Amino acid sequence: MKKVILDANAIIYWVKQKVDLISSLESILQEPFEIATTASVVEELKKISRTAKRSSGYAKAALELIAKMNIKVIPSSYTHADKDIMALVDEDVIVVTNDKRLKERLKNKTRVLSIGEMRLR
């Protein structure tokens, strides 16, 4: 079974743009998958939610979505979310991110999807 790992900006974008992520992933992957994120991503979202920035409301909603959708939270080995995600990469992992730097680092290591691409489906 494939494991789809979401980073913080993908979850915020999911909330902000009201993307039907589950249906999009089902359409793209056409095989069973599990959605997960890391504890460091959850911590990043908590940190964003405590700021005065406009994205704080989206971060709060993202945290609620993680709980509501029962998204698996993988314990973190690192405090930096990108390092955690990189450490989890293998042939059964697909990463969903809109982060250009993370996408570049993941290039040739695993499949990477962006929410913007999924929205077009």
Domain boundaries, the chain: 2-119
Q: Which residues contact 40 (CB under 8 A, 6 or more apart)?
A: 76, 78, 79, 80, 81, 83, 84
Q: Rg of the Cα trace of the chain?
A: 13
From the candidate CATH numbers 1.10.3720.10, 3.40.50.1010, 3.40.50.2300, 3.20.10.10, the one assigned to the domain spanning 2-119: 3.40.50.1010
How many CB atoms are located within 10 Å of the residue 70 CB?
A: 8
Write the Ramachandran bin of 30: left for phi over 0, alpha for psi from -120 to 50, otherwise beta. left
Question: Among residues 118, 121, 83, which one has the least CA distance to residue 10?
Answer: 118
pLDDT of residue 52: 83
Are the beta carbons of 81 and 7 closer than 8 angstroms? yes
Whole-number pLDDT of residue 20: 84
Amino acid in position 16 = K
Which parts of the chain have pLDDT scores under 50?
120-121
Predicted local confidence at residue 118, as pLDDT? 66
